[in-house]
């Protein structure tokens, strides 16, 4: 089996490929993020097509226009079932890294209980406005002027396990907003241990409030070692690009680059491709989810996929023979469905590199955790602590 020295794992945040068998129990029956994009007639992703994207089981709808037959596929392809309970960013990334969560993180469809809000107000010194599940853009329209009038910070949630705090940068300095969120993170443990506390800075005036790029996530720490921790303990590099460090609360990350956009993330990733290191570069490209999925912007989502694919077609020329590229997602966020929440979907898996078997259907994997298990096996790490099944034998020559 050929030796791999570097793995690049790129998460296309929310690019699901069709509803999971239990999607109806999450209110997500009929969800299919990629198909929604395909049906616009504007999706142009030839590089991922060559890697086998439209050969994945269940994606027959696009085979006729992909211009790629099974024998022409230059890598491995498949799709993955989420075994964890939930459809959250944190849960999805934990599972990818080897931890299946049997119990969902707490959510608050009616807002946070009084004791949580009261303690938040007491410890931070700010009143809390809203305290309901809300669209991140609509909440600014409905509560932004009250916030500007000095009535408090905007606290809200969603269908995910999140405690979000929005504040105008002209009223609350960014470091003060981060301090408030750090306090909230300390408070929200145990029974109310949400996956993420999120700082949501914004600017402008009504009715044209706009989020700024200085969002910051304060995640709950993983309950045990992930593949990142195992790699780090072996002395290998563990690089996070985008919000990876935030998602894992810094656990197992040796180097991190925070980014402002997909383009920024792709630029940072390309720099690491050109750099010498041994280990894992774990990338999250969040615009698909944050800018387009949650805002029901189908055309924006399509354009973002096209832009990524165009970049990918050029950057793969820079990979070394000892590199492995894995492309996946963490959940869905179908922009055509009513509502703005994540959707319970299969995620795609594409594998590319000189060592990857071509025309290789990896099938339907039973867990996202197969990715973490495989990476551990590539670097010959004892991985009994990780969930999932390794794909290594089927993946590489």
Q: If 0-12 CB within 10 Å is exposed, 13-18 middle and 19+ buried, where does residue 294 land?
A: buried
Task: State the average pLDDT for the chain.
Answer: 96
Which token pair is 202? 């914004």
b/e burial code for range 221-242 (CB count within 10 A of at least 16 → b)? ebeebbbbbbbbeeebbbbbbb
User: CA 362, CA 138: separation in Å to the nearest integer?
Assistant: 41
- Round to whole Å and give the CA distance between 135 and 360: 41
Q: Where in the chain is the domain with CATH 3.30.70.1250?
A: 114-219
What average pLDDT score do residues 353-369 get?
96
211 near 201, Cβ under 8 Å? yes
Q: What is the pLDDT of residue 66?
A: 72
pLDDT confidence of residue 71 = 76
Q: What is the pLDDT of residues 33-85, one digit of tens each?
A: 999 999 999 999 999 999 999 999 999 888 767 777 767 899 999 999 999 99
Mean pLDDT across the stretch 315-325?
98
Write down how long the chain is.
397
Give me the pLDDT at residue 394, please.
94
- Range(s) for CATH 3.40.720.10 in the chain? 6-101+222-395
Q: What value does the CA radius of gyration of the chain take, rounded to a whole number of Å?
A: 21
How far apart (Å, rounded) are the C-alpha atoms in residues 160 and 200?
15
CATH of domain 6-101+222-395: 3.40.720.10
Q: From CA 376, how far away is CA 230, in angstroms rounded?
A: 8
In words, the CATH class of domain 114-219 is: alpha beta
Rounded CA separation 81/92 (Å): 11
Beta bridge partners of 281: 8, 239
In terms of C-beta distances under 8 Å and separation of at least 24 residues, what long-range contacts does 230-235 make, across chains too? Answer: 230/376, 230/381, 230/382, 230/383, 230/385, 230/386, 231/279, 231/280, 231/375, 231/376, 231/379, 231/381, 234/379, 234/381
pLDDT in tens, 290-301: 999 999 999 999
pLDDT tens sequence across 105-146: 999 999 999 999 999 999 999 999 999 999 888 999 999 999
pLDDT at 375 over 90: yes
Q: What is the pLDDT of residue 70?
A: 67
Q: How far apart are CA 136 and CA 130, in angstroms?
A: 12
Mean pLDDT of 151-174: 96
Region 324-332: what's the mean pLDDT? 98
Tokens of 168: 């105008």
Alpha helices in 193-348 (DSSP H): 227-233, 244-247, 262-273, 287, 298-315
At residue 2, the pLDDT reads: 84
The pLDDT tens digits for 255-305 are 999 999 999 999 999 999 999 999 999 999 999 999 999 999 999 999 999
């Amino acid at each position: 089996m050929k030796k791999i020295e570097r793995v690049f794992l790129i998460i296309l945040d929310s690019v699901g490929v069709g509803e999971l068998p239990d999607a109806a129990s999450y209110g997500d029956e009929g969800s299919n993020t990629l198909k929604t994009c395909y049906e616009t007639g504007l999706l142009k992703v030839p590089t991922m097509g060559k890697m086998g994207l439209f050969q994945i089981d269940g994606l027959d709808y696009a085979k006729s226009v992909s211009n790629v037959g099974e024998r022409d596929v230059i890598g491995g392809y498949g799709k993955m079932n989420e075994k964890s309970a939930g459809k959250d960013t944190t849960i999805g990334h934990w599972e990818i890294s080897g931890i299946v969560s049997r119990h969902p993180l707490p959510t608050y469809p009616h807002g946070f209980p009084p004791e949580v809000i009261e303690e938040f107000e007491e410890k931070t010194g700010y009143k809390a406005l809203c305290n309901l599940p809300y669209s991140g853009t609509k909440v600014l329209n409905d509560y932004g002027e009250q916030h500007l009038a000095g009535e408090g910070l905007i606290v809200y949630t969603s269908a995910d396990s999140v405690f979000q705090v929005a504040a105008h940068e002209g009223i609350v300095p960014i470091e003060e907003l981060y301090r408030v969120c750090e306090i909230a993170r300390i408070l929200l443990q145990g029974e109310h241990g949400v996956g993420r506390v999120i700082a949501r800075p914004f600017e402008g005036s009504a009715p044209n409030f706009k989020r700024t790029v200085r969002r910051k996530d304060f995640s709950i720490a993983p309950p045990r070692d992930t593949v990142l921790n195992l790699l780090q303990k072996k002395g290998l590099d563990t690089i996070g690009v985008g919000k990876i460090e935030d998602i894992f609360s810094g656990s197992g990350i040796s180097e991190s680059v925070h980014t402002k956009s997909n383009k920024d993330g792709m630029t940072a990733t390309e720099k690491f491709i050109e750099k010498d290191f041994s280990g894992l570069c774990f990338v999250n490209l969040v615009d698909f989810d944050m800018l387009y999925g949650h805002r029901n912007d189908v055309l924006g989502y399509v354009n973002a996929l096209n832009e990524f694919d165009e970049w990918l077609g050029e950057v793969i020329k820079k990979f070394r023979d000892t590199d492995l590229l894995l492309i996946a997602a963490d959940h869905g966020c179908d922009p055509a469905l009513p509502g703005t929440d994540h959707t319970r979907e299969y995620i795609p898996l594409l594998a590319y590199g000189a060592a990857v078997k071509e025309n290789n259907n990896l099938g339907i994997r039973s867990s996202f955790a197969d990715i973490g298990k495989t990476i551990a096996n590539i670097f010959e790490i004892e991985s009994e602590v990780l969930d999932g099944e390794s794909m290594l034998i089927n993946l590489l020559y």
